[in-house]
Structure 1
Amino acid sequence: MKKHLITGFALLALFQLKAQQQPTDSTSTYKSTKLTLDEINLVSSYYKQDGNHSAVEGGIGTQELTDLSNTLDVKLTKYGSTGKKHSFGLEVGIDHYTSASSDKIDPSTVSSASYGDNRFYPSLSYGWEDEEKGKAITAGVSSSTEFDYQSFGANIGYSKKTKNKNGEFSAKFQTYLDQIKLITPIELRTSGGYGTDNRNTYAFSLGYSQIVNKSFQVMFMADVISQQGYLGLPFHRVYFTDGSVHQEKLPDSRLKIPIGVRASYFLGDNFIIRAYYRYYSDDWKLTAHTFDVEVPVKLSSFVSISPFYRFYSQQGAKYFKAYAQHSDSDEFYTSNYDLSTFDSNFIGAGIRLAPPKGVFGWSHFNMLEIRYGHYSRTDGLSSNIISLNIRYK
């Protein structure tokens, strides 16, 4: 983990871009028509989990997994000759993970192809904003590549503020077109090669935010998500009551409908209460409730801490049964505990530093945040994550 975090600092140090300095007078109306660097964010994280309900082994076996992640986000802005704001974003992410359960796809090998893998996921975004009329349009494309998975995504969005600028309506459409390499458990293979299958996801989101008063803000959100294609994972085993082993089988369509509300309440200058609730349901009969609260506390003009807690409760999908509980009378079957009934808790805190002279005295490195969280689930899964976010502006 130490090596990973140091790597994050080194990557950011490579960027010697100098943002054009705009007038410091707060009354200035100057808007640069040249493309300028807005900010660069680097997020590095280390994640480790363990449990004993591996879907690769039919609901039993280790779920040990580690993930090292680095994401670099660059934002550029300019104003056109008509005064409209143009924003450009480039994000590049690289993950390296190891999964002990994936090594059981073919136990006869020292290490299967999926035991350790790298994921590369770049994205590009563009935004157009008319600040005077309070409306904006966004668009973006993305990609994600790993050994057995290839995904391409695109999105487009629109937002419009109310006349008094205290409310904002937003709508967004996203699509992901995925190709999955069909790596089956060794005992179920009928040929030496891997076939492929497709999965398509379409998501439509609506939101409305409102500044109620100087202390209270609220946002309402609703989504409709449709998926078609191969919706399981080909290397997930399912054991029947007679001891026979099968490949996970799930329907080729799924409709998800989450709705949520997010609120922020400002208690003076030093405390904020941020709360979030979401209800989720789908046509696999999986339902869930999420409640999240975070309380940023300003300790000084440039130091703040943010303790947080999230509770999640899920009623499992109708296609889930534990190890050796399915039978040949079941049309669909899975022993993936992510689709089971469970409760989970996620608790942690972050510390944020924004010194007036910059982090470590470097004026352009104006923010450093470190967050730690511990996750636990009633089925025995637990994990820890630590992340570092540093911003160049």
Structure 2
Amino acid sequence: MRKLSLAVIGMYISVLSAYSQSTSAGDSSHYKSKKLNLDEVNLVTGYYQQTGDHSAVTGGVGTEALNDIATTIELRLYKYDRKQRRHNFNLELGVDHYTSASSDKIDPYTISSPSHSDTRVYPSIGWTVQNEEKKTTFGLTGSLSNEFDYQSYGLGASFTKASKDNNREFSARAQAYFDTWKVIYPIELRGGAEHNEESSPRNSFSASLSLAQVVNTNLQLLLVTEPTYQNGLLATKYQRVYFTNSDVKAETLPNSRVKIPLGVRANYFLGDRFIVRSFYRYYQDDWGVKAHTLDLETPIKLTPFASLTPFYRYYTQAAADYFAPYAQHTPAEAFYTSDYDLSKFHSQFFGAGIRLVPLKGVLGIAKWNSVELKYGHYIRSNNLQSNQLSLHIKVK
């Protein structure tokens, strides 16, 4: 039952997406196995540590100290069918454990409530079939996630079509998540008919449309949009809101939300040793949040077997219509939150990663293809700070 900052979520998404690079549909060998083969194994483990003084659990004031350790293992397998189509199977299991000082304030009279720490388990499975002749890929995914007050089930489908010369690629993806929350109120607000819900659903439906284009040997572009619609319980009921008349209530937000991000990515190759990767995204939703993101990453090949990747991200957003700081909401408002993730702020995230790909394998182990260590530091204008460290091991 944690209220993680957007930074930690973004870290794990970026780590896993960066490391889970797709295997090329082409195969240089003449023989294509019709048996199921192990392609590679990816192990990603990360540590996240956060401090801050605007906890939403206590109405926008108080500690946001949090620690999280996450580990994900992914198995990638493949086989060819009689029509020489390549079938890829991804099996993934993730486990993370957190401790949160602010969550323990839901009931401050306990020594250590269940919300103070928890373990989340999230397995997933994916399948894609690649038709090399038609330049198409179709895929399906399924996922589960479980912790003591929260369960989620996810389904997804994807389609990709490349041009004959492989210089252009269109991708479409649709995903749906069906979540169930155990509704928990702050200790002083429990009791009464309005606070007796046991559980409540939340559904999320998203799509992704992207178009990638190789402009020339140095420049690649990608345009992407990822609209999302959510409905159900979108407020976090154990987060308090304090009013100008000294009343205290549980956070209340609309039961639907529409998010529309638009992004453009440009990768430029400066010879054999340098790459400039840039990404800009504009975001808007019907809660009044508008945001801009600028991402820069510059992998530098130090040797044929080692590379260094410094990165920097700047983010700025306008506050949601329903946000106000501690004790600044008025009793007449229908929706209200003091969650600083929905406030006006700007943030920076910067750091570097180092990747080793020895010719004879890491530590002389031939199957141990590569190892990468990445560190990032996050600072936000409302005093939230975090440190993030991740390690990726690939066996191939």
Q: Same fold (TM over 0.5)?
A: yes
**Structure 2 residue matching 1:114: 3-state secondary structure:** helix
CA shift for structure 1 position 338: 0.2
1:95 partnered with 2:96: yes
CA shift for structure 1 position 193: 7.5
1-side partners of 2:74 and 2:175: how far apart?
A: 20
Q: Please, which of 273, 276, 297 is the counterpart of residue 273 of structure 1?
A: 276
1:164 partnered with 2:165: yes
Q: Give the partner amino acid of 1:284.
A: W
Q: Give the partner amino acid of 1:222.
A: T
Gaps of 5+ in 2: 1-26
Q: Please, which of 274, 284, 287 is the counterpart of residue 284 of structure 1?
A: 287
Q: Please, which of 196, 203, 206 is the counterpart of residue 199 of structure 2?
A: 196
1-side partners of 2:216 and 2:130: how far apart?
A: 25
1:354 partnered with 2:357: yes
Determine the structure 2 residue equivalent to 1:108.
Answer: 109
Determine the structure 2 residue equivalent to 1:68.
Answer: 69
Contact 2:245 2:331 in 1 (8 A): no
CA shift for structure 1 position 223: 1.6
Scaled by the length of structure 2, the TM-score of the pair is: 0.91
2-side partners of 1:92 and 1:199: how far apart?
A: 23
Matches within 5 A, 1:138-287: 138-190=139-191, 195-287=198-290
1-side partners of 2:164 and 2:39: how far apart?
A: 28
Q: Please, which of 357, 377, 383 is the counterpart of residue 380 of structure 1?
A: 383
Query: C-alpha deviations, 1:30-82, integer Å up to 9, x for none?
Result: 22111100000000000000000000000000000000010001100111111
Gaps of 5+ in 1: 1-25
2-side partners of 1:105 and 1:194: how far apart?
A: 16
1:44 partnered with 2:8: no
2-side partners of 1:66 and 1:244: how far apart?
A: 32
Determine the structure 2 residue equivalent to 1:296.
Answer: 299
**Structure 1 residue matching 2:363: 3-state secondary structure:** helix
Query: C-alpha deviations, 1:204-223, integer Å up to 9, x for none?
Result: 11000011111111110012
Determine the structure 2 residue equivalent to 1:18.
Answer: none
Query: C-alpha deviations, 1:111-158, integer Å up to 9, x for none?
Result: 111100000000000000101211010110001101111110000010
2-side partners of 1:311 and 1:113: how far apart?
A: 35
CA shift for structure 1 position 27: 5.8
Distance 1:27 1:378, change over 3 A: closer
Query: C-alpha deviations, 1:303-345, integer Å up to 9, x for none?
Result: 0000000000010100000000001111100000000000000
Determine the structure 1 residue equivalent to 2:24.
Answer: none
Scaled by the length of structure 1, the TM-score of the pair is: 0.92
Determine the structure 1 residue equivalent to 2:23.
Answer: none
Matches within 5 A, 1:99-138: 99-138=100-139
2-side partners of 1:204 and 1:271: how far apart?
A: 33
Contact 2:126 2:141 in 1 (8 A): yes
2-side partners of 1:37 and 1:183: how far apart?
A: 44
| Larger deviation, residues 189-198 vs 45-54 | 189-198
2-side partners of 1:41 and 1:377: how far apart?
A: 31
1:335 partnered with 2:325: no
Q: Give the partner amino acid of 2:60.
A: G
Determine the structure 2 residue equivalent to 1:14.
Answer: none
Runs of 4+ in 1 over 6 A off after TM superposition: 191-194
2-side partners of 1:163 and 1:367: how far apart?
A: 32
2-side partners of 1:224 and 1:313: how far apart?
A: 19
**Structure 2 residue matching 1:55: 3-state secondary structure:** coil
**Structure 1 residue matching 2:84: 3-state secondary structure:** coil
Query: C-alpha deviations, 1:63-109, integer Å up to 9, x for none?
Result: 00000010001100111111100000001000000000001000000
Determine the structure 1 residue equivalent to 2:6.
Answer: none
**Structure 2 residue matching 1:299: 3-state secondary structure:** strand
CA shift for structure 1 position 29: 2.2
Determine the structure 2 residue equivalent to 1:31.
Answer: 32
2-side partners of 1:296 and 1:148: how far apart?
A: 41
Q: Give the partner amino acid of 1:74.
A: L
2-side partners of 1:154 and 1:282: how far apart?
A: 23
1-side partners of 2:320 and 2:29: how far apart?
A: 57
Identity %: 51
**Structure 1 residue matching 2:57: 3-state secondary structure:** helix
- Number of aligned positions between the proteins: 368
1-side partners of 2:84 and 2:68: how far apart?
A: 44
**Structure 2 residue matching 1:325: 3-state secondary structure:** coil
**Structure 2 residue matching 1:57: 3-state secondary structure:** coil
Q: Give the partner amino acid of 2:184.
A: I
1-side partners of 2:29 and 2:57: how far apart?
A: 61
